[in-house]
Structures are given as C-alpha cells and as structure tokens.
Amino acid sequence: MQKNKSYSLLNKLIVRTSLISLLLLIVSGIVISLGFRNDMGEHASEAPEDILVDLILSESFEHVYWVFAICLIFLIILIYITVKSSLKDVNNVSEYVKKLDINNPISIPNLKAPKEINPLLDSIKTSFKKMEDDLKQQREFIDNAAHELNTPIAILRANIEGMKNDQTKQDLLKDLELIENASSQMLRLSHLEKFKVTKEEKADLVQLIINLMNNSDVYKNEIILDKNIDQLLINGNKNYLDICFKNLFDNAISNKKGNSKVYVSIDNYYNITIENEHSIKNINKDTSKSIFKKFWRGDKNKYAGSGLGLAIVKRIAEAHNAKLTPKIDQKTFKISIKFNSI
C-alpha cells in the first residue's frame, strides 16, 4: 500500500502560530525601542527610579497595544486560512471517494491530506480492496456455476426428450425451461456488473420497442402501444435495451390480471411507461422498493421466471443513466423509465 502525501494539520497550525508570534515580538521590540528613545531620552536622567519604572510601563502600553491588536487580527486570519485550506484537502478526498464506482477497477491515488486522517484513508483503501476482491470472487462463482449447469441441463433435456409424449413430459420440459432461464439470467446479471455504455452507441427506443412487438405474437396480442413520436434516439446499447424492455414486458404480462392488457406509452420527454392491472396479492408500501431486488416475485407461491428479470432491468437502466420509477397500488402495476437525450 502506497504512503499518502500528507501533512500534520496540528503541526501546520503550531508552526504558523509560532512564526506570527515571533514576528509579533520582533515588531514590538522595535516599536518599544523607538518609543523609548524619543519619549524617555529627555526624562530618564532626572527621574527617580520608581517613576522611571512607571514611565517604562506606561510608554510600553502606549506604543505596543495597537501592535498586539493588529498582530492578533493577522493571527486569527492566518489560523482561519490554514484550517480552511486543510479542510479543502479533506473535502477533495471526500469528493474522490464519493465518485468511486465499485463496478470499475478501484484505484485510490496518493491524495494530499492531513496526517490526522491517514488512518481513515488507509481504512477506506483496505475496505475497497476487500470489496473488489469479494465482488470478483462472486462474479467468478456465478460465471462458473452458470457454465457448469449447462452440462446437466443438456443431459436432462436429452433424457426428457426421449420420454413418451404425455403430460408428464410437457411439465418436465416446462420446469427445465425455468432452470435454463434462471441459469442464463444469472450469467447475464454477472456480465452486466461490468457493462458500460460507450459514447458512440446509439439506439432508437421507438423502433426498438416496435421491433420487439413485431417479433413476438405474445407481445402483439397482450400489449397496446401508445406513442406520439416516430423516433427517440438515446446514447444506448441496443442489445441490452432489448433485454431491458423484454424483461419489463414479460414481467407485466406475467403479473397482469386475467384478460387485461399491458399499456406501453412513449412520449417525447424520453419517458417510457409500462402499466397494467395486476393480480399480485399482499401489496404494501414496501413493494415498490422490493421489486428490483434479486429473486423478487409478485406471487411467492407461483414459480414463474427466474426472479432476476427486474434486477437486470435496474442494472441496464443504471448503465444508461436512466431513472426507474415504480408505482404500485392494489390495482395497478406501473414502471416508468426516463432516459437522457443525446
């Protein structure tokens, strides 16, 4: 671990205060000498000893008090500037730490700061290094687990396909699809942790959603699209945006009530809203905060999907600097996603 470029705030204050105090003594001595030479020269030879002492004291106060006052003001100003400049370095450290992204390689440079906060900086570096290592291990585990699952899944599919065509086979194939989906979604979520949108990438949200609907009979039948524009360009990755809206549509269709429809609206303020009547039970004030958590399901007794779809939506939205706003009540399930214009 590299050593920080640091200094002692306490030592800085002591040195500067000592310097100004020394300057105060020098200036005071000069002024006293000048005053004594001018005012006491003519009285010193004829004045008694006790009067001479009183005269020295009175002359000292007369010529020195204003010097002390001025130097005190300078001292206060100097201490204020010293503390303020030192705290500016502390604030720079704080701003740098605030901008760190755990999804990017973490490297904290040698920041200039008071020695008094060096233990804090060392703790921050150690904590971030540990978090980085833990995340790396987690991603590697998920990648390996998802890949290792492919072989037994393929064997299961081959064995099930060889069974006679009856309801049992159909049920097993349906369950196997859920396992395959969970495995692929886990791998996708792991890759998304490192995903960043480049400045060169462009996507037309209107055309993207139209293409999704045209390529799926389910979407054509279940979704009603309302748009008042023909094009909405953003800085975005088309492939991941496809996944984002596919997951949003699948979630809405899965949770919708009976034969009701899913309504998708696009406006020219870069807002896209997916809204439907839902069949979810036990809706409460915390539901909106929970839907983007991993493995969240509206109906915990209903095993449909991997429970990772909306978590993937959240990560893709974050990568595009888009804002997700869920609004769920006892009747309606609504998610709005606002993108930034180019």
According to the model, what pLDDT value does residue 1 have?
47
Q: Whole-angstrom Cα distance, residue 152 to residue 192?
A: 25
According to the model, what pLDDT value does residue 106 have?
62
Tokens of 142: 């998920």
C-alpha distances (whole Å) from 81 to each of 16, 72, 303, 338 are 11, 14, 64, 45
**311 and 192 Cβ atoms separated by less than 8 Å:** no
Nearest Cα to Cα of residue 281 among 327, 328, 335: 328
Query: What does the angle CA 306 – CA 307 – CA 313 come to, to the nearest 5 degrees?
Result: 105
According to the model, what pLDDT value does residue 99 have?
72
For the four alpha carbons of 313, 315, 320 and 321, in that order, the dihedral sign comes to positive
Q: Whole-angstrom Cα distance, residue 255 to residue 291?
A: 12
Low-confidence ranges of the chain (pLDDT < 70): 1-14, 18, 21-22, 24-26, 28-69, 72, 86, 100-114, 142, 146, 191, 297-306
Tokens of 44: 């010193």
Q: Whole-angstrom Cα distance, residue 297 to residue 280?
A: 9
According to the model, what pLDDT value does residue 222 have?
95
CB-count burial class (<10 Å; 0-12, 13-18, 19+) for 9: buried
Q: How many other C-beta atoms are found inside a 10 Å radius of the C-beta of residue 146?
A: 19
Q: Whole-angstrom Cα distance, residue 92 to residue 16?
A: 23
According to the model, what pLDDT value does residue 52 have?
52
52: enclosing H helix or E strand: helix 49-98
